[in-house]
Amino acid sequence: MSEEEEDIDDEPTEVDDEVAKKVITKKVVKTGMKTDENVLECSLKGVKVKMSSNTPHKRVYYKKNYCLYCEKPFGKVTRHLMRKHQDEVDIAKALAHKQGSTMCSFLLSKIRNKGKYIHNCSVKSARQGQMVPKRQTTYLLSATDFLPCYFCLAMYIRTDLWRHQRRCKLRPDGPVKRKVQTYCSFLLPMDHPVSDGLKKILEDMTYDAVTRRVKSNQLILSLGERMFLKNGEVGCHRADMRNKMRELTRLVLVARDLDKDTVFLKDLITPAKFNTVLAAVKKMTGFDHLTNRFAVPSTALKLRHSPMKV
**151 near Zn ion, judged by CB under 5 A:** yes
Collapse the DSSP code of 147 into the 3-class scheme (helix H, G, I; strand E, B; otherwise coil) and give the result: strand
Strand pairing class (146-148; 155-157)? antiparallel
Residue 11 per-residue DSSP state: S
Near Zn ion by CB under 5 A: residue from 1, 20, 49, 67: 67
Least distance from Zn ion to the Cβ atom of residue 75, Å: 13
Pick the piece of the chain touching Zn ion (CB under 5 A) from 44-52, 95-103, 141-149, 242-250.
141-149
Asked if 232 and 201 touch (Cβ cutoff 8 Å), the reply is yes
Q: How far is the CB of 41 from Zn ion (least distance, A)?
A: 25
Q: Does 70 bind Zn ion (CB under 5 A)?
A: yes
Nearest-approach distance from CB 194 to Zn ion, in angstroms: 25
DSSP code at position 260:
T
Contact between 85 and 69 under an 8 Å Cβ cutoff? The reply is yes
| Binds Zn ion (CB under 5 A): choice among 111, 141, 152, 248 | 152
Q: What is the total count of residues that contact Zn ion (CB under 5 A)?
A: 7
User: Any contact of residue 155 with Zn ion (CB under 5 A)?
Assistant: no
23 binds Zn ion, rule: CB under 5 A: no
CB of 163 to Zn ion, least distance (A): 11
Residue 97 DSSP code: S
Nearer residue to Zn ion within complex by CB, 123 or 265 = 123
Residues 21, 50, 51, 69: which binds Zn ion (CB under 5 A)? 69
Element holding 118 (H helix, E strand): helix 102-126
Query: Can you tell me whether residue 129 is helix, strand or coil?
Result: strand
Among the residue ranges 20-28, 58-66, 68-76, 221-229, the one whose residues contact Zn ion (CB under 5 A): 68-76
Q: What is the C-alpha radius of gyration for the chain, rounded to an integer number of angstroms?
A: 23
Q: Which residues pair with 66 in a beta bridge?
A: 73
Provide the minimum distance between the beta carbon of 293 and Zn ion in the complex, in angstroms, as a whole number: 51
CB 49, CB 168: distance < 8 Å: no
SS3 assignment, position 74: strand
Nearer to Zn ion, 176 or 279 (CB): 176
Residue 66 phi, psi (nearest 5): -110, 135
Q: Return the SS3 of 39.
A: helix
Q: In angstroms, give the least distance from the CB of 12 to Zn ion.
A: 16
**Using the rule CB under 5 A, is 106 a contact of Zn ion?**
no
261/120 Cα distance (integer angstroms): 30
149 binding Zn ion? (CB under 5 A): yes
70/239 with CB nearer Zn ion: 70
Please tell me whether residue 176 binds Zn ion under the rule CB under 5 A.
no
Binder among 168, 279, 300, 310 for Zn ion (CB under 5 A): 168
Distance, CA of 266 to CA of 258 (rounded, Å): 16
Q: Which residues bind Zn ion (CB under 5 A)?
A: 67, 69-70, 149, 151-152, 168
